[in-house]
Structure 1
């Protein structure tokens, strides 16, 4: 049964297609292997911000807090380029790549690609296999975001309070 609420979930997709959830969970696990957990979490939060996925923002901010990622890094993530000295070169390269892959606009109206300078910056900061994991992590969180936004998944923190 599909339920449409102004601010509630449309469906429990994972209950309806558990094999898709299992596949996504396996993809996520494979993507994150060999990737710095702090960078992985920053990437998940930033992509989720860009995709306006409240469910994933809530989940990954909660996870990041448990990992003791500094609060200021989390608070300023939406403006990471302006927060000089707060993020490492490697984190900045990962965040730039996250934005390019998530948006896929190439920075111009004509292009749908990751700009060479963004990719090269990431390639300078990540060993090739690690870069492959980073790209996979970015693709994975974008897929999770799209599932959660499409079904209007209720963030865990709100669900816990509302009883939904």
Structure 2
């Protein structure tokens, strides 16, 4: 692939926020809901990062790893999120449950969320928190699909 071909693939196709601010506001309302509860910010960051890894969304990975670092997340944990099963001592049981839950929700067509994973999440979170987790994973998957489909431009290095 030539540089020209690569540039044409990464040119942003449109800005949803500019074209239809109401559509963008709807997504922001879900984000506000997710962040208004009692889920730890580190948990939300981890699930957003894991879903974005699975979906291959560079824009969201850049955003959410940057936000996680600003909130005090350890860089080494961020470096191994995609291989969390090999670094279980670095992630709490609730975090591991959320990471697996995120994977199964993101890859929903591969069998859905298993009873085992559901039980692991329920062992660590209240029903209200589970609803927020469901909404958080759903929202990041929508954001990923929007960013990838529109070729959302990455901020400059």
- Same fold per superposition (TM over 0.5): yes
1:5 aligns with 2:8: yes
Residue 51 of structure 1 is matched in structure 2 by: 55
What are the within-5 Å matches in structure 2 for residues 3-152 of structure 1?
5-34=8-37, 35-106=39-110, 111=111, 113-152=112-151
Provide the rounded CA distance (Å) in 1 between the counterparts of 2:119 and 2:63: 30
Deviation by residue 1:49-102 (Cα, 9 ceiling, x = unmatched): 111010000000110110110111100001011113000001001101000000
Deviation at 1:29, TM superposition (A): 0.8
Residue 117 (structure 1) shift: 0.8
Asked whether the equivalents of residues 59 and 155 of structure 1 are also in contact (C-alpha less than 8 Å), the reply is: no
For structure 2, list consecutive stretches of 5 or more residues without a partner in the other structure: 1-6
Q: Offset of 1:5 from its aligned partner?
A: 2.1
Superposed displacement of residue 32, structure 1? 2.5
Q: Which deviations, in whole Å up to 9, do the C-alpha atoms of 1:28-49 show, x marking residues without a partner?
A: 1112222111100111111011
Structure 1 residue 105: Cα displacement:
3.1
- In 1, are the aligned partners of 2:54 and 2:106 still within 8 Å (CA)? yes
Aligned residues: 150
Whole-angstrom CA distance in 2 between matches of 1:84 and 1:28: 28
Contact 1:93 1:121 in 2 (8 A): yes
Superposition deviation, residue 128 in structure 1: 1.1
Which structure 1 residue ranges, 4+ long, deviate > 3 Å from structure 2?
A: none
| d(CA) in 2 for partners of 1:118, 1:129 | 17
The whole-number CA distance in structure 2 between the counterparts of 1:37 and 1:81 is 21
Using the size of structure 1 for normalisation, the TM-score is 0.87
Relative to the length of structure 2, the TM-score reads: 0.91
Q: State the 1:145 CA deviation.
A: 0.6
